[in-house]
Structure formats: C-alpha cells, structure tokens
A = this chain, B = another copy of it.
Amino acid sequence: MLPSRGALRPVDPRRVRITGGFWAQRQAVNGTATIQHCRTWLDRLGWTENFATTGTGTVRRRGREFSDSEVYKHVEAMCWESARPGGTNYDAQLAELTERIAKTQAPDGYLHTAFGRPGQPERYSDLNFGHELYCAGHLIQAGVAAARTGRAPGLLDVARRAADHVCTAFAETDAGVCGHPEIETALVELFRVTGEQRYLDQAARFVQRRGHRSLPEHEFGWRYFQDAVPVRDGEVFHGHAVRALYLAAGATDVAVETGDDALLATIVRQFDRTLARRTYITGGMGSRHLDESFGDDFVLPPDRAYSETCAGVATVMLAHRLLLATGDLRYGDIVDRVLHNVIATAVADDGQAFFYANTLHQRTLTEAVPADREQLRFGGGPRAPWFEVSCCLNNVARLVASLGTYLVAEDDRGVQLHQYMPMTVEAAGQTLTVDTDYPAGGAVVVTAERPCTVTVRVPAWAHDTERTRTSDAPARLELPVKPRWTFPDPRVDAVRGCAAVEVGPVVMCVESVDQEDGVTLDDLQVDTSVAPEATAVKGRVIRPVEHDWPFQSRSDTPQGSDPIVVPLVPYHRWARRGPSTMRIWLPVATA
C-alpha cells in the first residue's frame, strides 16, 4: 500500500494518536459534530437519497452534478474517523451507505446518479462540467480509505468496478479527460492498494492526455480545466486552483510509481514557483473569485482573496506527497501554514459552519447566517452551515479525520517529525511520545521507549541555518515562537507598504471587535520599529482627508493620532464573536 519509492515513507494514520492541544480538540469536534452535520444536510437535500435504496427504483434526482462526490467524501471521512485512535465509530452508517452506493452501480461498473439513466443526459456527454470522472475519483478514494482502514466492507469492490469501467471507457487516446481532475490520484492510490497495474497505466494516460485542449472551448478558457498546457510543460500552477492542485497530486503519484523523475521535477518546479509567487501569507491559494483560479504572479489581493478551503485541503495533499517524494522540508512548512491559517480558519468552533472562501481582509461587517440556511453564494461572506456548492465541508472532514497521515514519516534512519502537536506515534518498532504546546510555545520534546533516531523539521521562519535536527530520543527542539513582523515581496502590489504579524506558523490579524471605539481598521497604521507582541502592536489612527475625488495632486499626509495599542488575534479566530471587520496586512506608518 505504500508508495513504491520516495525519500520518506508515510506512517499509517492509525498509528498516530493526537493526544491533546488544538488539533485533538478539532478532531473531536470534526469526528462528531461535523460529520453528523454533513450527514444531516446530505439527507435534507436528497443527495444521499439519489443513491437508490432498491436495486431497480429511480428517484427524482436532486443536487448539482457533483453531489455524488459529497456522499463519497463523507464516507471517506467516516472511514478515517472510525479507524483513528479515539475516533467515533461509524460502521453502521458506512454499511448503510455502502449498500446504497453498491445498488446504484450499473452492471458494467458505471456509477453516477445524474447521467445515463432514463431522462438523464448520456454518460460522458459533458466532460467539461459533468464531473463524472471526478465523482468516480472520490468513490475510489473512499474505497481506498475503506481498504486502508478495514472499514466499509464491500466498498473497495464497488470502487474497483467503477475503476475498471473508467479504464475501459477511457482507454482510447482520444477518449478525453474530465474537466475536474481527481481521478488521476485516485487511480494511483487504488493501484497501491490493489497492485492492479491497469489503474496506474490509466492514471498515467490521463496525466499525459491533459493540456491538449481536447475539451470543448468555454468562456473560462482551457486553463480553468487544466487543459491548456501539457502537465510537463507547465511553469507554474494556473487556472482553477483546486483542479490544478488535484492534478499535480495525481501527477506526483504517477511520477513516483512509474519512476518518472522528469515528471516529478516539473511538478516540483511548478509548485515551488507557485509558493514563491502565487500563495497568500496564510498558505491560501487561488485569488480570483470569477473562476476560482490562481492569479498572475504576485497578484494576491487580501480584500478579494478567494483562498478556497478546498484549495487548502488540496495543498496539504500535494505538499505531503512532495515531502515524501523529495524529503524537502519546505513542504512541511506549507502544510503547517495551511493547517493553522486556512483549515483552522474555515471551521466554526462548533464544527457546523464553514468558510468556503477565506478572505484576508474584510472591509464591511460580516453578516450572521442562520444555522438552517443554505448559502447560494459561495464566493464570500461568513461561515455558513452549507452551500449550494458544498465541496469544502466534507473535504475538511476527511482531512481532519485523517490528520495523522501528515504528521510523521519514516526512513531507514528512523523517524521524521514534521508537524508538532501532543501525540503518540507507533514507529520504528516502538511508541514515541511528543509533548508540546506548539504553536503557543516552541518547546517540542520527543521521548521513546528505546533509543531511536529522530529528525525534526525546523520551519523556515526559525531562521536556523539547518532545516533539520537529528538526535537520539529523548530529543528536545526549541523553536523561536515569538511575534515577528513580516513584509511582502515588493512585487505584491496589493500590500505594498504593509506589514503583518506572525507568531510561529500562525498569522495574526486585527479584528474590529477588539479595537477601541471609533477605530476603523482601514484607518490604522502600525509602527514596525517596535517589536510586536503576541496580542498587540503599536500603531496610530489616521484621519484621511475626505475628498469628492480620491486621486489628488498632493500626496495626503493624513493627521495621525497619538500612539495607540492595536490588539491582535490569530487570523483563525476571526469572525467568531459577531459581525466584524478584519485585516491581516497593516499599513506601516511612514511619517
């Protein structure tokens, strides 16, 4: 079941128990409230009911063309949750849904509730937007999770039949690709679980086939569908962010399993350039609302940031693959950043409301969303219980339930620790224990039953000359978790003249509910000559001159107030205390 090669070996998440701290709490809420919340909505909207409860019956189908995938991601989340140490058991729900799904599968293995049956469009009649292979991919990922966790008996067989159908239907060179990548990584994972070569071959074929503009032309352009440029010829991720990242994850899997070092190198190059030029300070990716896509290099507007939650999930998936394949710890850094600033931000404390997009600057007061109300608009706004396009909820649920996947790895020398939280890990033939209150504090202590070589990741922000420390357990790492000013590349026009505060991997923000009366966030300036504290910085309030036209022949030097204290909170805590405005990037006082 493991990748056949790579610098590091993954550790089965069932061997990782998060024992306390921030993520243990999040896992507990995810495993109960979020998963149950998702099921309630899947039922309410009829997306589970689309899967026939009898073998022959058909029901009036509800939901968009990708709603099947939500059921599959929900199933995947329940597999991981049921299997994780301390998790909630969903075996009964898994059995019920597995039965429904299996009964809906056509005799030839095809499985999608919106196509191919009487009164529905023909199979594969809309490769741009039909999401048929995308849904098949999520079904396969659910089947793989079932196999890896020993849950949901029978689901792997359904997934195999679906995969067999895909391999047959899309064997021909001109058979096309799906508008939304996902099937690629799913097929490689299924190959790893089953050893069946044809799944790997088909995944490689899909990766190879992309980028030749075989999909019909659309106003969003071929870049949106990842069909404008062959994967090997890309320079940087572009188009729809989630599609780009899923495709890159699949290409990485193909490269690892086929020994295609050139393919791996091109993904590394594209991801590295994306990190250097197209990623928000939060780790969020994708700046455009219109087509949910990456912007051009250095176009990272905080106030119209898209930074979709699903892109965060996809970044973790891709970065982990590249970390295992290359051993480069920068990919651990981005996982750390995304977890603490995108995933942590997206989910309400009760696990039942979510950001779809994660803006970095909220100028007008957020609105409250009723708990029983689906949001039609998914591009912005407050955390909401559900969206018409509701991909992010189940995506977060499966990520958090399987979080143990992303924390540690092994190689021939011993154990690598990539993410820091209180946990026990069964690795290197014994149980290791990690004690830390990271990211609140920087001390990480690893103890072992027997002597054992432990390598730890030193984040880039620690400004250490060495990115790793290797020692025998018990090992102690002391990271300089203290507030620091952070400044943008001068080419990021949108935040020129601004600074942000970070504490370890956590990006801080100012939120209006913390400020004194009369302080408007957009009138704040901060004094970067004074070191920041974790809870506040020094600044002042300017009083802009009001003109009837905002462009003037003199540069206004607005009158500044006496110095004030500007309270900060972690970005992931924002919008939890009623309507508020917020900003991460703060103009630096210059006069």
CB distance from A159 to the nearest CB of B (A): 33
Q: Are A491 and B551 in contact (CB under 8 A)?
A: no
Q: Are A363 and B552 in contact (CB under 8 A)?
A: no
> A544's contact among B460, B491, B546, B556, by CB below 8 Å, is which?
B491
Is the interface on chain A under 10, 10 to 19, 20 to 34, or 35 or more residues? 35 or more
Answer yes or no: A296 CB below 8 A from chain B CBs.
yes
Inter-chain contacts of A550 with B (CB < 8 A): 276-277, 279, 298, 300, 488-489, 491-492
Cβ contacts A555-575/B at 8 Å (1 or 0 each):
110100000000000000000
CA distance in complex: A376, B484 (Å): 47
Inter-chain contacts of A500 with B (CB < 8 A): 551
Answer yes or no: A553 CB below 8 A from chain B CBs.
yes
CA distance in complex: A277, B489 (Å): 27
Answer yes or no: A476 CB below 8 A from chain B CBs.
no
Q: Are A376 and B551 in contact (CB under 8 A)?
A: no
Answer yes or no: A151 CB below 8 A from chain B CBs.
no
Answer yes or no: A217 CB below 8 A from chain B CBs.
yes
CA distance in complex: A463, B549 (Å): 13
Q: Are A549 and B275 in contact (CB under 8 A)?
A: yes
Answer yes or no: A288 CB below 8 A from chain B CBs.
yes
Inter-chain contacts of A461 with B (CB < 8 A): 553
CB distance from A381 to the nearest CB of B (A): 9
- Mark the stretch among A16-24, A218-226, A433-441 that contacts chain B: A218-226
Can you name the residue of chain B whose Cβ is closest to the Cβ of A364? B296
Answer yes or no: A209 CB below 8 A from chain B CBs.
no
> A488's contact among B277, B493, B499, B551, by CB below 8 Å, is which?
B551
Inter-chain contacts of A129 with B (CB < 8 A): none
Inter-chain contacts of A460 with B (CB < 8 A): 549
6 additional A-B residue pairs with CB within 8 Å, beyond A219-B388, A493-B585: A220-B377, A298-B363, A487-B551, A491-B550, A494-B494, A496-B496
Cβ contacts A565-591/B at 8 Å (1 or 0 each):
000000000000000000001010000
Inter-chain contacts of A499 with B (CB < 8 A): 555
Can you name the residue of chain B whose Cβ is closest to the Cβ of A485? B553
- Dominant SS at the A interface? loop
CA distance in complex: A487, B558 (Å): 13
Answer yes or no: A289 CB below 8 A from chain B CBs.
yes
Q: Are A547 and B489 in contact (CB under 8 A)?
A: yes
CA distance in complex: A587, B493 (Å): 9
Answer yes or no: A262 CB below 8 A from chain B CBs.
no
Inter-chain contacts of A288 with B (CB < 8 A): 289, 304
CA distance in complex: A207, B29 (Å): 49
Q: How many copies does the complex hold?
A: 2
Inter-chain contacts of A330 with B (CB < 8 A): 548
> A490's contact among B217, B279, B300, B558, by CB below 8 Å, is which?
B558
Inter-chain contacts of A290 with B (CB < 8 A): 289-290, 379
Can you name the residue of chain B whose Cβ is closest to the Cβ of A585? B493
Answer yes or no: A426 CB below 8 A from chain B CBs.
no
CA distance in complex: A528, B500 (Å): 27
CB distance from A383 to the nearest CB of B (A): 17
Inter-chain contacts of A304 with B (CB < 8 A): 288, 295, 299, 301, 304
Can you list 24 pairs linking A and B with CB atoms under 8 Å apart? A218-B376, A220-B377, A221-B377, A276-B550, A281-B551, A288-B304, A295-B304, A299-B303, A299-B363, A301-B304, A303-B493, A361-B493, A460-B549, A461-B553, A484-B553, A489-B544, A489-B552, A489-B556, A490-B558, A490-B587, A491-B550, A493-B495, A493-B585, A494-B494
CA distance in complex: A551, B302 (Å): 14
Answer yes or no: A498 CB below 8 A from chain B CBs.
yes
Inter-chain contacts of A497 with B (CB < 8 A): 496-497
CB distance from A405 to the nearest CB of B (A): 24
CA distance in complex: A303, B303 (Å): 13
Answer yes or no: A43 CB below 8 A from chain B CBs.
no
Interface residues of A in 418-462 (CB under 8 A from B): 460-461
CB distance from A323 to the nearest CB of B (A): 15
A551 with B486: in contact, given A219-B376, A289-B290, A296-B303 (CB under 8 Å)?
Answer: yes
CB distance from A508 to the nearest CB of B (A): 13
Cβ contacts A536-549/B at 8 Å (1 or 0 each):
00000010101111
Answer yes or no: A378 CB below 8 A from chain B CBs.
yes
A378 with B219: in contact, given A296-B303, A297-B363, A303-B296 (CB under 8 Å)?
Answer: yes
Q: Are B554 and A487 in contact (CB under 8 A)?
A: yes
Q: Are A219 and B377 in contact (CB under 8 A)?
A: yes
CB distance from A291 to the nearest CB of B (A): 8
Q: Are B556 and A490 in contact (CB under 8 A)?
A: yes
CA distance in complex: A569, B487 (Å): 32
Answer yes or no: A272 CB below 8 A from chain B CBs.
yes
CB distance from A581 to the nearest CB of B (A): 10
Answer yes or no: A472 CB below 8 A from chain B CBs.
no
